[in-house]
Amino acid sequence: MKIRASRKAGFTLVEIMIVVAIIGLLAAIAIPNFVKARTTSQQNACINNLRQYDGAVQQWALENKKTSTDVYGMTSLQPYIKLTSANALPACPAGGNYAPGATVAATPTCTLSTVVAAPHKLP
């Protein structure tokens, strides 16, 4: 008569704890990098929007023979750029607001242009 030893296959508690620790370590490394990538992409999108707005102002000034000291209004930029329903520049992707320059020579700015970590301003 043979006695069969029943052996259940499975993972031990130590093996499961090691896997959970490795996943936690990888998450601790990855999450800050995702946050930094998001902040950087929002900053780049904001700077590109400012570049587009400045280009629209420069094109309007060139086509209407304006000088660098001339003042412009948001309604004059409507053919060159898409504005909100209130004839204002859309909001920054990071939550800031855009302000047009006072004159043709002044570049538009973002309210997040003074942030130390990732300033939203044209170079």
Say how far residue 37 (Cα) sits from the centre of its chain: 9
pLDDT digits (tens, 9 = 90+) for 9-51: 788 999 999 999 999 999 999 999 998 999 899 999 999 999 9
E-strand stretches of the chain = 98-99, 109-110
Single pTM value for the model? 0.74
Closest-CA residue to 80 (of 69, 72, 70):
72
Burial class (CB in 10 A: 0-12, 13-18, 19+), 22: exposed
Instruction: Calculate the dihedral angle through the C-alpha atoms of 44, 50, 53, 55, rounding to the nearest 10 degrees.
Output: -80
Q: What residue segments make up the domains of the chain, in order of their start?
A: 13-110
Express each pLDDT in 61-107 by its tens digit: 999 999 999 999 888 888 888 888 887 788 889 888 888 888 999 98
Mean pLDDT for the stretch of residues 3-11: 74
